[in-house]
Structure 1
Amino acid sequence: DELFCGYNSYREAIEKGEDEVTKMMIEKLKNEGEMMVAINQVTAEFGVRMIQPFLSPDFVEYAKKIPISEKIHGPDDIQRKHPIRELAMDYGVPEVAAQKRKKALQYGSQIHKSLLKSRKTS
Structure 2
Amino acid sequence: MLNQTENTKGQPDVLPAALFGLCPHCGQKTLFANVIKFSDKCRSCGLDFSQYNVGDGPAAFLTLIVGAIILGLALAVEANFHPPFWLHILLWVPLTVSAVVGSLRVSKGILLILEHRNQAREGSIDKRDGE
Same fold (TM over 0.5): no
TM-score (norm 2): 0.29
Query: Which has more radius of gyration?
Result: 2
Task: Decide which structure has greater helix share.
Answer: 1
Q: Give the alignment's TM-score, normalised by structure 1.
A: 0.30
